[in-house]
Amino acid sequence: MQRTTIKQVMSKRQWLGALGAIALFTGGCMSMMKGVPSDLDYSTARATENGAFRLSYKTDPALIPISKLHQWTIHLETPEGKPIDGATITVDGDMPQHGHGLPTRPEVTQNLGNGDYRVEGMKFQMGGWWIVNFGITADGKRDQATFNLMLK
Ligand SMILES: [Cu+2]
């Protein structure tokens, strides 16, 4: 088809749809990046929402791979910095712009001691903005922390 013909025939909405399809084809989730809030906090260590704990994470490998199973190690401590062992921790991930979560069900599989915990089953199937949420129950308290990730 010739360009002039398309312009005449297609409505604006169709054009946007076609452009979106092209962007998705060429850039995957990158086409959605324009909707990512500009003030997101990408820090890997933070206080939990109600301030009950502090939580941080490291990934292995350090550069998070796409579509590949990998491990995280999280570190849990009191607001004063004392490591907490024996916590019950749940993991979940989501792409807020896409309405889908992780393809896996990651779990904390081991308390490594000194407030460290191994998380297995992490896998992100596409680049873009992800949130990873940890629900923590420890010392008779319950709190959660959400981390933002921008994967490429
Ligand atoms: Cu997605």
| Chain segment 29-54, per-residue pLDDT in tens | 555 556 899 999 999 999 999 999 99
Whose tokens are 């999280």? That residue is 74
Report the DSSP pairing between strands 107-113 and 116-122.
antiparallel
Ligand 1 centroid, distance to 132 Cα (angstroms): 13
| 95 CA distance to ligand 1 middle (Å) | 6
User: So what's the pLDDT on residue 32?
Assistant: 53
pLDDT, average across residues 121-144 = 97
Q: What is the pLDDT of residue 35?
A: 85
Please check whether residue 38 is in contact with residue 129, taking contact to mean a CB–CB distance below 8 angstroms.
no
**CA–CA gap between residue 73 and residue 59 (Å, rounded):** 6
Q: Which tens digits make up the pLDDT trace of 79-119?
A: 999 999 999 999 999 999 999 999 999 999 999 999 999 99
Residue 11 pLDDT greater than 80, yes or no: no
Least confident of 31-35, 50-54, 60-64, 138-142: 31-35
Q: Give pLDDT, residue 88.
A: 98
Query: How far apart are the CA of 120 and the centre of ligand 1, in A?
Result: 21
Q: What is the pLDDT of residue 3?
A: 56
Q: Which residues surround ligand 1, an ion (CB under 5 A)?
A: 95, 98, 126
Separation of CA 126 and ligand 1 centre (Å): 6
Could you give the CA distance from residue 142 to residue 81 in angstroms, rounded to a whole number? 17
| Whether pLDDT at 21 is above 80 | no
Distance 101 CA to ligand 1 centre (A): 8
How many A from CA of 1 to the centre of ligand 1?
A: 31
